[in-house]
Amino acid sequence: MFTGIVTDIGTVTELEQNGDLRARIKTAYETAGIDIGASIASDGVCLTVIALGDDWYDVQISAETVSKTNLDTWTIGKPVNLERALKVGDELGGHIVSGHVDGVAEVVAVEDEGDSTRVTLRAPKDLARFVAPKGSVALNGTSLTVNEVKECDFGINFIPHTKEVTTWGNVQVGDRVNLEIDTLARYVARLAEMS
């Protein structure tokens, strides 16, 4: 489990397609404190560490994961939002995030509003019903509050701090973004279907 509070921006340094996709991510994390088999959310996708170096870790990514996320857009040099898994007693600063991406949203508008940036995204139709004004979503692993919703489009406001400590400072129209809907929204919808 994660909180959606990004704690490092890593960099993809190697990609190898050999059966599954293997990626090497350079990180500022103290890798001596990471175990093989640990989970690290990488752009919001819970990935398992399979190898470690002084300032990097490797993950193996299945074809299923690639098909359901934006990891097919990863290239050498790409910055990646990172978050280590929660430990008992950690502060829950964002919302409960599983790292199980539900689908990919597309950035359809980017507009500066004062020092902040308003980003409008288009969710896949089957996921749009789970996105609610003032509700939570995780986008590329970042816990965010939804401002408004109109059909499949929803708006997020990024403050300067978020743009500085995540990859959101470089957002552009056309970007494909990993979307994880709020777990609570998923269960509420399921209960409503059963009533």
Is 67 a member of any domain?
Answer: yes
Indicate which CATH number applies to the domain containing 67: 2.40.30.20
Q: For residue 20, what pLDDT is reported? A: 94
pLDDT tens digits along 104-153: 999 999 999 999 999 999 999 999 999 999 999 999 999 999 999 999 99
Q: Which of 12-16, 98-102, 189-193 has the lowest mean pLDDT?
A: 189-193
The residue from 39, 55, 84 where one domain ends is: 84
Does the model's pTM come out above 0.75?
yes
Q: For residue 182, what pLDDT is reported? A: 87
- Residue 160: domain span: 103-194
The band of 193, judged by pLDDT with boundaries at 50, 70 and 90, is confident
Alpha helices in 70-153 (DSSP H): 125-128
For the chain, the distance separating the N- and C-terminal CA atoms, rounded to the nearest angstrom, is: 29
117 and 67 in one domain? no
Is 15 a member of any domain?
Answer: yes
Is 3 a member of any domain?
Answer: no
Q: For residue 31, what pLDDT is reported? A: 97
Is 29 a member of any domain?
Answer: yes
pLDDT tens digits along 57-116: 999 999 999 999 999 999 999 999 999 997 776 677 778 888 999 999 999 999 999 999
Is 174 a member of any domain?
Answer: yes
Token pair belonging to 77: 């040099």
71 and 138 in one domain? no
Q: Identify the H or E element spanning 81.
A: strand 79-84
DSSP one-letter code for 86: P
Is 93 a member of any domain?
Answer: no
Is 89 a member of any domain?
Answer: no
The residue from 17, 51, 84 where one domain ends is: 84
Token pair belonging to 153: 């489009």
107 and 79 in one domain? no
Residues 101 and 176 sit within 8 Å (Cβ to Cβ): no
Residues 105 and 124 sit within 8 Å (Cβ to Cβ): yes
Q: How far is CA 184 from CA 31, 40, 84, 96, 177, in A?
A: 33, 22, 22, 9, 21
